[in-house]
Amino acid sequence: MTQWPEVRAQQAWYDEVRRYTLDLVAIRGVSPGADELQVAQEVMRLLSDGGLEHAYTFLGLDPVADDPYGRQNACAFLRGQSSQTLVLLGHIDTVDTQDYGPLEGLSLDPEALNAQIETIQQWSAEVREDLAANPGDWLFGRGVADMKSGVAVNIAVMRHFAALAQTGQLPLSLVFLAVVDEENESAGVLQAVQFLLRLREQYALTYVGAINTDYTTALYPGDPHRYIYTGTVGKLLPAFLIIGRESHVGHPFQGMDANLIMAELIRDLSMNDALSDQVRGQLTAPPVTLHATDLKAHYDVQLPFAAYCYFNVLTMQTTPQQLLEKLCARATFALAAALQRVDDAEQRWEQIRVQHPQSLYFNFAHTHTVHHTPRGGQVMSYADLYARTLERHGEQYVQDALAEEWNRWPATLDKRERCLHLVYRLWQISGEHGPAIVVYYAPPYYPHVAATSSPLHQALAHVCKQHSELHLMLQEYFPFLSDLSYLRLEPSLDTAVLQANMPIWSDASASARPGAYYLPFQAIRELALPVANLGPYGRGAHQRDERVLMSYSFGVLPQLLCETIEQTWKILNTRKDR
C-alpha cells in the first residue's frame, strides 16, 4: 500500500519556502517584460536543485506563442501510479516598483527592506497595527505576497513529492505551472491551457482539479480567517464612445459637449453598487472608472465632440449579454439626463438674455438659434452600429475601412486604444448622427467560475474541519482577478455577444492580426478543471506596503497543500472502490 510522506516539521517548510521566496523576489519580473523569463529560469533551477531533475517525467520551459517578449512558462510533471492528476498553479510576474519611492532600490530585497522598519511603520496605521500584532512575522517587498511566495510553496511541495516519485511511490500525478503575464493579459495561463491539453493527450491523464496559490487576505477589520476559495470572480471591461456635436465654445448651445455626457455616464456607473453581483452571501466590488478622456489632440476653442471611457466590472453570475443590456439602458438614461440639463440651461439663459438687450448676451444672440423642441440622442451597441453601417455601405466597404484603420497603428498599440480607433472609424463612416453613445467591450475578459462538486473541493472542506485552530474558511469566489478564470467555463456561458461587441476580437480560424484579442474558449471547455485557491496570507498587494505573514504562509500553508493533495487522492480511491 502506498505510504504518503510523513508530516514535515513546520520549521523545515518555513526555512525552505522563505529561501525560495527571497530568491524569486530578487529577480525583477514586471509584466509585461522580458525579465519574466529570468524568473521562470530560476524556478527551473529551484525545482531541480540537488539532483532532483531526474525525478520529473517532464521539466522544462514552454514558450508563450507569438510573444513579443520571448517569455516562457516554467512547467514540471511528476507521473504517479495513477493517471489522476492535480495541477499546482502560480504566476511569477509582478506589477512595477515605482510606488516604493525612495526605497524602490530595496523593493526586491525583502531583508534589506525589512531593516527599514522605522520608515515602513510610518506608511499607514494598518501597517503599524499588523507589526504590533505579529512582530517580526511580516516580510515586505514586491511580489512577496502577490505571488512569489505562493510559487515558492508550490516549488517546495513539488520537490517534496519528487523525492517520493524517485522511489516509484507517488500515488497520483502532479503538474506544476509557473506562468507569466497574470498582471497584464494572462498570456501565460492561456499558453498553459494548451500545454495541459497536450500533456493530457500524451500521457492519458485525467485532471481532477487545479490549485492556485495566489495570496489571500482579510475581508474586514479584525478578520481572523484564512480563506480558501473554490471558484473565482470574473471581469468585463465595458467601454463607451460618446459622440456630441461640434461648435465654437462661444456658441455652446449649437453643439453638445461630449465630456458632459461622459460625466453623467460616469456619475451613474462608477461606484454604483446596483451593478454589483451578489451570489450566496458574496458581493463583488462595484464598477469603477479605469480611463476617461475626450478625443481632442490639441488645444483649440472647439467644443469637445467625442470622448470615451471604460469601466472595471467584476462578475459572479452576470453574463456579457446581461451586462450589455443593463449598460445600454443606463446609458440611455445618462444621455437623456445630460441633454435635459442643456435644454434647461438654454431656457434659463434665453430668459436672462432677452431681459438684458444691451448685454453681451444680446450682441451675441443673433447667432443663437433657440431649440424649441427637446434635444434627442441615441444609444446603441457596437454590433448594432456595425449592422447599420453594413446595411448602408455593404460588407466590402466596411471591412476595407476597418482594415485600413487597423493597419494605421503599430502592433504594440494598447488594445483598449485599438478598440477605440476601430469604433470611432466605424462611427465616422456609418452615416449616424450624434448625440450618441456606442457601448462595446474591450479586453481583457475574465470568465467567472463557480464552485463545482468535485473530490478537490471535498478534500478542501475536510482539511478545513481538521484545522479549526487555524480559522480556515471556505468561500466560493476568489475576490480578485486570477488565472483560474481560464481553466474552466460555466457550461451555460454564451460568449457570442462578447465576441460580436469587441472590435478587436479574432476567431481561432481567422488569420492572426497584430494587436488582436482571442481567448481559446473551446480549449478551456475541453479542460474544464475544478479550481481552488489556497494561498499565502498577505496584505497590501500592488502597494508599497505589500507584505506576507511568514508563519502561516511559509510554515503552515505547504503542509495544508500536501494534506489537500493526500485527501483528494483518498476521496478518489473511495469512489473507485464503490
Q: Where does residue 70 fall: left (phi above 0), alpha (psi -120 to 50 degrees), or beta otherwise?
A: left
- Please indicate, yes or no, if residue 334 is contained in any of the structural domains: yes
| Confidence at residue 486, expressed as pLDDT on a 0 to 100 scale | 97
Question: Could you tell me if 560 and 577 are in contact, meaning their C-beta atoms sit under 8 angstroms apart?
Answer: no
CA dist., res. 63 & res. 323, Å (int): 35
CA dist., res. 573 & res. 553, Å (int): 30
3-class DSSP state for residue 362?
helix
Neighbours of 492 (CB within 10 A): 6
Number of domains in the chain: 2
CA dist., res. 381 & res. 500, Å (int): 10
| 165, 215: one domain | yes
CA dist., res. 547 & res. 196, Å (int): 32
| 213, 148: one domain | yes
Q: Which stretches of the chain drop beneath a pLDDT of 50? A: 1-2, 362, 365
| 377, 322: one domain | yes
3-class DSSP state for residue 208?
strand
| Confidence at residue 152, expressed as pLDDT on a 0 to 100 scale | 98
- Please indicate, yes or no, if residue 495 is contained in any of the structural domains: no
**Residue 248 has what DSSP assignment?**
B
| 431, 470: one domain | no
Beta bridge partners of 221: none
Question: Could you tell me if 57 and 166 are in contact, meaning their C-beta atoms sit under 8 angstroms apart?
Answer: no
pLDDT digits (tens, 9 = 90+) for 460-512: 999 999 999 999 999 999 999 999 999 999 888 999 999 999 999 998 655 56
Tell me the one-letter amino acid at 247: S
The residue range of the domain holding 188 is 10-232+448-488+528-577
| Confidence at residue 365, expressed as pLDDT on a 0 to 100 scale | 47
Q: How far apart are the first and last CA of the chain?
A: 18
| 417, 452: one domain | no
Residue bearing cell 532532483? 52
* Overall size of the chain counted in residues: 578
| 420, 466: one domain | no
| 223, 79: one domain | yes
CA dist., res. 419 & res. 416, Å (int): 5
| Confidence at residue 511, expressed as pLDDT on a 0 to 100 scale | 54
pLDDT digits (tens, 9 = 90+) for 72-121: 999 999 999 999 999 999 999 999 999 999 999 999 999 999 999 999 99
| Confidence at residue 370, expressed as pLDDT on a 0 to 100 scale | 63
Let me know the angle formed at the C-alpha of 555 by 554 and 559, rounded to the nearest 5 degrees: 110
- Please indicate, yes or no, if residue 76 is contained in any of the structural domains: yes
| 18, 149: one domain | yes
* CATH number of residue 430's parent domain: 3.30.70.360
**Residue 303 has what DSSP assignment?**
P
C-alpha cell of 19?
529561501
CA dist., res. 106 & res. 115, Å (int): 10
| 379, 297: one domain | yes
Which one of 386, 414, 445 terminates a domain?
A: 445
| Confidence at residue 362, expressed as pLDDT on a 0 to 100 scale | 47
| 553 CA to centre of own chain | 23
What's the pTM?
0.91
